[in-house]
Amino acid sequence: MLVIGELINCTRKRVGAAAEARDAAVIREVAQKQAAGGAHMLDVNGGIPGREPETLSWLVQVVQEVVDLPLCLDSSDPEAFRAALPLCRQRPVISSITEEPERFGRVLPLVKEYGAGVVALAMGPDSTPSGVDDRVDNASRLVDMLTAEGVPLADIYIDPCVLPISVGSEQGPAVADAITRLIARYPGVHTTAGLSNVSFGLPMRRLLNQAYLLLLISRGLDSAIVDPTDRQLMAMVRAAAALMGQDDFCSDYIGAFREGRLDIAPAAAPAPAAPVA
């Protein structure tokens, strides 16, 4: 299970303010905490309108000063990818590409030039998916377009577009069913998800995120953009990997236990029995 740390995102208030002020200390701290939490890759989002190329490039340089992890470059502006890709020390992932002609035409050459992985977003040309069939159809067209251009399935990460269940109770199972169908259709393709979208607008978001992650892993999800500083969520990731046969001889699970990384809060003590009259 590939854990992609989600916290270096300029839409987050603290990170956005630090990026605006070029406060490298804050960015370094966030990067180091995610690496220490067990992230395998860090998402880096330079989403400051009008300044994405220079912001994303700066973030990449600062993050790589303190962590030795591959990066997932996240931007709405393909020019930001063009500026930041040459700075990456390890093979990156580009997030994301869609079948919208202009974006596809600008992002695909960068994927091919740098041999990057790419997140394929299951969006239609002009609409957000609402069910299982449109997610599968959108993703299938995009995967077929990418492979026709020589991009290997193993370099593609299908994102089936997690949407809030608070606005449609069908959204949770729709993504799970789409993942099952897509990995059956394209053996060897990867899947990923921006997990926290599912709980938007609801109380106890961490609980929903954790439960949904386990559900999606059981359907074949093999990477996710999550908060790796959430120790309980990371403990569940390790347990799920062991249970789903993704952890040979449970070595990662046992190692995490020995390092004190499986410290889920203990259950509350039972209430004392009432005295017998």
Q: Judge if 51 and 10 occupy the same domain.
A: yes
Mean of the per-residue pLDDT values of the chain: 94
The C-alpha atoms of residue 224 and residue 41 are separated, in whole angstroms, by 10
- In DSSP notation, the chain reads -EEEEEEEETTSHHHHHHHHHT-HHHHHHHHHHHHHHT-SEEEEE---TT-HHHHHHHHHHHHHHH----EEEE-S-HHHHHHHGGG-SS--EEEEE-S-HHHHHHHHHHHHHHT-EEEEE---SS----SHHHHHHHHHHHHHHHHHTT--GGGEEEE-----TTS-TTHHHHHHHHHHHHHHHSTT-EE--BGGGGGTTSSSHHHHHHHHHHHHHHTT--EEEE-TT-HHHHHHHHHHHHHTT-SGGGHHHHHHHHTT---PPPPPPPPPPPPP-
Whether the predicted pLDDT of 246 surpasses 90 = no
pLDDT band at 267 (very low <50, low <70, confident <90, very high): very low
Q: Judge if 171 and 196 occupy the same domain.
A: yes
Residue 154 lies in a domain: yes
Task: Please report the pLDDT score of residue 276 as a whole number.
Answer: 52
The end-to-end CA distance of the chain, in Å, is 55
Whether the predicted pLDDT of 37 surpasses 70 = yes
Mean pLDDT value of segment 91-119: 97
- In DSSP notation, 174-196 reads HHHHHHHHHHHHSTT-EE--BGG
pLDDT band at 275 (very low <50, low <70, confident <90, very high): low
The C-alpha atoms of residue 230 and residue 252 are separated, in whole angstroms, by 18
Residue 107 lies in a domain: no
Residue 111 lies in a domain: no
Residue found under tokens 């000063």: 65
Task: Please report the pLDDT score of residue 126 as a whole number.
Answer: 78
Residue 95 lies in a domain: no
The bridge status of strand 117-121 relative to strand 190-191 is: unpaired
Q: What is the pLDDT of residues 82-92, one digit of tens each?
A: 999 999 999 99
Q: Judge if 58 and 130 occupy the same domain.
A: no
Q: Judge if 133 and 218 occupy the same domain.
A: yes
Q: How many domains does the chain have?
A: 3
Mean pLDDT value of segment 169-176: 97
Whether the predicted pLDDT of 271 surpasses 80 = no
Whether the predicted pLDDT of 144 surpasses 80 = yes
CB contact at 8 A, 186 and 153: yes
Residue 4 lies in a domain: yes
pTM equals: 0.92
CB contact at 8 A, 178 and 160: yes
pLDDT band at 18 (very low <50, low <70, confident <90, very high): very high
At which of 66, 90, 114 does a domain end? 90
The C-alpha atoms of residue 181 and residue 183 are separated, in whole angstroms, by 6
Task: Please report the pLDDT score of residue 268 as a whole number.
Answer: 47
Q: Judge if 196 and 156 occupy the same domain.
A: yes
Written as six digits, the tokens of 169 are 């109770």
Domain with 183, as residue range(s), is 124-226
Specify the CATH number for the domain of residue 221: 3.20.20.20
Mean pLDDT value of segment 229-236: 94
